[in-house]
Structure 1
Amino acid sequence: MDYLFVFLLGSVLGSFYNVLIYRLPRRESIISPPSHCPSCGSKIRWYDNIPIISYFLLKGKCRDCFASISLRYPLVEFLSGLLALLCYFKWSLSFESFVMFVFFSLLLILSFIDWDTFTLPDSLNLGGLAFGLVSSFFRENFTFWDSVVGALVGAVPFFLIYIFYVKVRKIEGIGFGDVKLMAFIGSVAGVWGVASAVFLGSLFGLLYAIPLIIKYKNISFAVPYGPFLSLGCFVGVMLRDWLSPIILQQ
């Protein structure tokens, strides 16, 4: 029952994450107006706002105007519930579990926003960086200096790449939001999280891009880097106990 409760709690929070994903890029208030249909503007009733379940009860359509509801809404709620479950499973009921759930939740929100808009809001990136630095004072096996070094190791190389593309090649190879994202990742997950984000994230990005390159027979398309960096970090952190011995033996 405790695992079920944790999943349900995470799913409820995922409903709020959907609000952030939709409203932050549009610079809308996350408080007012209440949740409403983006098509007809009708207020969503409480019984139509039950995470995951309401989507299927409504058959993916607004009760009032019958406009389609994106499958993303229950997907984010499910992923948020899954994150809560995995954090509880790995770190039990602890401060570390809380820190990592907040961390992964912010990465989830940032990933969906970046996928839609190719932007990473400072409110989440810099807020996450501050959270990483402050929370490091209260973590058992992660110090403030681990947080600072992780943030620098994450941000500096990406900043230099950003400058190279902008000043030398006169194009934006990576966004400055990615620089801030890597600082945020490093502040919470340290150097290991940064390395995981870069190497695993690049691998996941390549696996996504190869079919597109084959399909369109060119490489002239843009892919948001944030979601892959976030996924790489998540996998690296969750599987660290398994990956570390393998890497150290090489």
Structure 2
Amino acid sequence: MIYIFLFLLGAMLGSFYNVLIYRIPRGMSIVKPPSHCPSCKTPIKWYNNIPIISYILLRGKCPNCSAKISIRYPLVEAFSGFLAVLSYYKWGFSITALGLYVFFSLLLVLSLIDWDTFSLPEPLMLGGTFLGVIISVFREDFSLYESLLGILAGALPFLLIYLYYKKVRKFEGLGFGDVELMALIGSWTGIWGVISAVFLGSLFGLLYVLPILIKHKSMNFAIPFGPFLALGCFVGVVFDGWRFYLTGF
């Protein structure tokens, strides 16, 4: 029953994450107006706003204007529910589980915003980094020292790369948002989370880009790096045994 409860709770929070993903890049309030159809602006009734279930019952369409509702909405809700269950399953009833659920949720929201807009909202990243430092004081598996060291290890190399492209090459080869994202990752997961984000994130990014390169035979396209860094960190934290194969400790 606890897993069912956590999944439902996570799905409800996922509904709020959808609001953040849609409204923050547009400079809209996350409180007002209430949830409404983006096409016809009709307020969504509570019984049409039940996570996952309403999408299925409405067959993915607005009940007022029949505009298509993106499949992303129920997927975000379902994934948020999965994250809640996963955090409890792996870290039990603990500050670590609660903290990492919040961290994974931040990565989910930031990744989708970055995917849509090629930008990462600074308030979420700076606030998330500060929260990561604060929570590190209370975690059983992590320390304030590891959090601060993780921020330095994550932000400094990316800052140097950013400055190199900006000052020497005279173009933005790496967004400053990625520098802040690596600081956020380091504050929650330390050096190993940073290594996972860079190593696995680069691997996932390469696997995504290769088919595009083969198909179009051109490099005249851009992809956001943030979602791949986030995915690499997530996989590295959840399956942290991979580091033992690399280092032996």
The aligned counterpart of 1:231 is 231
Which AA in structure 2 matches 1:70? S
* Post-superposition CA distance 1:154-187 (Å, at most 9, x none): 0000000000011111111110000000000000
The aligned counterpart of 2:24 is 24
The aligned counterpart of 1:43 is 43
Correspondence list, 1:140-219, <5 A:
140-219=140-219
The aligned counterpart of 2:76 is 76
Which AA in structure 1 matches 2:96? E
The aligned counterpart of 1:244 is 243
Q: Please, which runs of 5 or more residues in structure 2 have no aligned partner? A: none
Aligned equivalents of 2:141 and 2:56: distance in 1? 43
Structure 1 range deviating more: 56-65 or 133-142:
133-142
- Give the 4+ runs in structure 1 shifted more than 4 A: none
Aligned equivalents of 1:167 and 1:221: distance in 2? 23
Contact (CA 8 Å) 2:25, 2:117: kept in 1 or not? yes
SS in 2 for 1:138: coil
What is the TM-score when the length of structure 2 is the normalising length? 0.98
Which AA in structure 1 matches 2:99? V
Pairwise CA distance, 1:137? 1.1
What is the TM-score when the length of structure 1 is the normalising length? 0.98
Which AA in structure 2 matches 1:247? L
Q: Percent identity?
A: 62
Contact (CA 8 Å) 2:96, 2:141: kept in 1 or not? no
Aligned equivalents of 1:225 and 1:141: distance in 2? 28
Which AA in structure 2 matches 1:95? I
Pairwise CA distance, 1:139? 1.1
Pairwise CA distance, 1:152? 0.6
- Does residue 13 of the first structure (1) align with residue 13 of the second (2)? yes
Aligned equivalents of 1:249 and 1:133: distance in 2? 28
Which AA in structure 2 matches 1:244? R
* Post-superposition CA distance 1:211-245 (Å, at most 9, x none): 000111011210100000000000000001x2132
Aligned equivalents of 1:226 and 1:76: distance in 2? 17
* Post-superposition CA distance 1:28-63 (Å, at most 9, x none): 000000000000000001011111110010000000
Aligned equivalents of 2:139 and 2:87: distance in 1? 15
Pairwise CA distance, 1:66? 0.4
Pairwise CA distance, 1:249? 3.7
Aligned equivalents of 2:43 and 2:13: distance in 1? 19
Structure 1 range deviating more: 133-142 or 29-38:
133-142
Aligned equivalents of 1:94 and 1:139: distance in 2? 8
Pairwise CA distance, 1:110? 0.1
User: RMSD across aligned C-alpha pairs, in angstroms?
Assistant: 0.9
Aligned equivalents of 2:88 and 2:41: distance in 1? 37
